[in-house]
Amino acid sequence: MGNEMTIALAATWNPRGELGRFEQLLAGLEEQYAHIVISFPPVADDRVVRLFTEGKYSARPDVSVIQNQVWSWGRYMALRTALQTSVSHIHYADMDRLLRWVETRTAEWREAVVRIEGGDYLIMGRSALAYATHPQALVRTEAISNRLISQLVGQNLDVSAGSKGFSRRAAQFLVDHTQPGRALGTDGAWTVLLHRAGFRVDYLEVDGLDWETADRYQNRSAKSEQQQAQAHAYDQDPAQWAMRVEVALEIVECGLEAAVQELPGTSPLLVSLPVY
């Protein structure tokens, strides 16, 4: 790794068979990031966690690991731990999505990471091509939460693709003004809080953040046919629709709470929602 690298990866990861792929991609990740933070949930595969806490990765100075006591603390703790390094910028990512992106569209991923250093807050969203790989249960429910957050900050955004870039100053602001918990709601809260605080919100659409769930327990990223088959099966399960409604609701609620949260020197946002 060169000294010029100033970006840390802050990733949440509940391993579902991705360890082999992670190990194959680790050298490339270390070329791109000055430090790697991995935030595990309490239910994470113990065999994987031990590799980082007492096994072959435990002595690496460029890797930090947290195993959270509560699942919903993961994103907050990833960001906070990355701030303990000397980097100037942080790339937050869901590890399973990131691995697929690195495998399938390496050049696009590298270019997107470089873009992080150009501002305070970069939301990486899904292109129409990427979104087309997702089940309708995600597409339709995320349309609601994305529209609400977009309305609050005044620009069209896809906030739930699991990949965001922060300057050190922006990340510190979020750690100082949020609490661990309601992890999925950070898609809304982080965006609204940084907008209200005067940080510029930049947006980048990419193809590589397509649907990653079909990759689970595979030795490589799923092909398009596998994605389509699993997306169809996903949409046949009412429990998945119910879960995605709850996720969208959490993002909406956290976004609205962030709009009126007390912030020094900042007035609450006036929420003006479209009439249907």
Banded pLDDT at 4 (limits 50, 70, 90): low
Quote the pTM value: 0.94
Asked if 108 and 55 touch (Cβ cutoff 8 Å), the reply is no
> What proportions of the chain, in percent to the nearest 5, are helix, strand and coil?
50, 15, 35
Query: For residues 264 and 154, which has the higher predicted lDDT (pLDDT)?
Result: 154
3-class SS of residue 212: coil
2 pLDDT more than 50: no
Asked if 78 and 143 touch (Cβ cutoff 8 Å), the reply is no
Banded pLDDT at 192 (limits 50, 70, 90): very high
Banded pLDDT at 3 (limits 50, 70, 90): very low
For a pLDDT cut of 70, what percent of the chain falls above it? 96
DSSP state of 255: H
Rounded CA separation 72/163 (Å): 17
Q: Which pLDDT tens digit goes with each residue over 106-159?
A: 999 999 999 999 999 999 999 999 999 999 999 999 999 999 999 999 999 999
Banded pLDDT at 274 (limits 50, 70, 90): low
276 pLDDT more than 50: no
When mean pLDDT is compared across 48-57, 170-179, 249-258, 265-274, the lowest value belongs to: 265-274
What is the model's pLDDT at position 272? 59
Domains of the chain by residue range: 7-260
What is the model's pLDDT at position 267? 80
What is the model's pLDDT at position 1? 39
3-class SS of residue 204: strand
Give the E-state strand segments of the chain in sequence order.
7-12, 35-40, 63-67, 89-94, 121-126, 163-167, 201-206
Q: Which pLDDT tens digit goes with each residue over 51-87?
A: 999 999 988 889 999 999 999 999 999 999 999 999 9
What is the model's pLDDT at position 97? 97
In this structure, CATH architecture of domain 7-260: Alpha-Beta Complex (3.90)
Mention every residue, 6+ apart, whose C-beta is less than 8 A from residue 54: none
